[in-house]
Amino acid sequence: MTQKKRSERETLPQKAGKLIVELGDKIYTQLSNLEPPAVSIPSRSIDNIVFDERLQQYVLGHKSIRRGFSNVRGAKGLAQLLWVAYVANELIKSDQVTTLRDLYYTSLNEKMLEIKEQAETDSQVEDLEAILSVPRETFNIIPHDRGTAFGRLVLEYTIKGFQGNRVDLMSHPDGVSIGPALAQARFVSSDSNFVLVVEKHAVFIQLIREKLHERFGALLIETGGQASRAARILIRRLNKELGLPVYILTDADPWGMHIALVIISGSAKSAHIKDLATPSAKWLGFWATDIEKYKVPSLVLNDVDYKRLEELKKDPRYNDKFFRAQIEWFMRKRKKAELEAFSSKNTTIGVTYLANTYLPEKLRELGAT
């Protein structure tokens, strides 16, 4: 295994801060030229969300809206947007963070903004994301995150008060929590061979105990269901900056399959942000077709599962031959299965079929080992 080089790059907040300053400069130039200030914002309406076949992810189309002082509504919206940009820039400069809820309450102090409900500030944050093409985490407006990482990777924090502090993901037997600080930290060193994203925490812990990081050089990331944006940022960076292949392990059901697809190609809701998806990532399993192949106990798809499959059939990402076959198998057999079902094939306590048979076979099948 070769030692991956240290990541030397501009931090994500620094990048976002420069973009915000550039936005402010444009407004200043307009005012200096006695022009009514205005900004062009990529439209986030449903009819402007398209699936880019080349990028293999949802992106915004070419439609945009112009927000300016041409009318009262436009002037109010622009004022709110520029206030959010100002707060974001101050957060970056001071290395402080806030949440969407905190931002809303802070806005109530600015009476001229005439903000009545949180939906208004939330919308302005999403518009700022669309203008800058970066997620709000990079300008320090953070969500409630979930997810854990474990493996041979040393990172160095870049946030104020912790700059230069390093964390070795191997130092915590239950993994290190993934938040914006970890997702944006500099990569110092790693000799991992690939990233294995795991849907369930219990399975994640099981794989740590089975020493997948030693046996295969796996860097394990647990998402706790649908991956948070911080987890998706970290996964993408590991793939792009360190060149690590990414494999995804979920339950064999419509929801697990979609967890994998969101990591691979993003979501419609986040179509205005391209840096959340990892198009080269692969769904390793638990495939629908694996249920009978590996002869594990299954459950019956319920009406909610079936309705979800009907929705996924209309999603252009599932036009791929492989995913179409998985959907058809689910619908034809009306079966699903959990990762824990592999425990039915364990012959010895502490030595699991999942880690010792299924995963090695799947990794070989996808060319990871």
Report, as residue numbers or ranges, the catalytic residues: 105
At 165, is the secondary structure helix, strand, or coil? coil
Helix, strand and coil content of the chain, in percent to the nearest 5, comes to 45, 15, 35
For residue 162, cis peptide bond before it (omega within 30 degrees of 0): no
CA angle 165, 245, 262 (to 5 degrees): 90
Crossing angle for the helix pair 229-242 and 254-265, to the nearest 10 degrees: 50
- The CA distance from 205 to 187, in Å, is 23
Q: What are the C-alpha distances in Å from 12 to residues 4, 139, 182, 225?
A: 20, 8, 12, 25
Alpha-carbon gap, residue 153 to 164, rounded angstroms? 15
User: Can you read off the two tokens belonging to residue 237?
Assistant: 């960076």
Spatial contact of 155 and 182, defined as CB atoms under 8 Å apart: yes
H or E stretch including 148? strand 148-150
> Is-contact 330 255, C-beta < 8 A?
no
CA angle (267 as vertex; 53, 304 as ends), nearest 5: 115
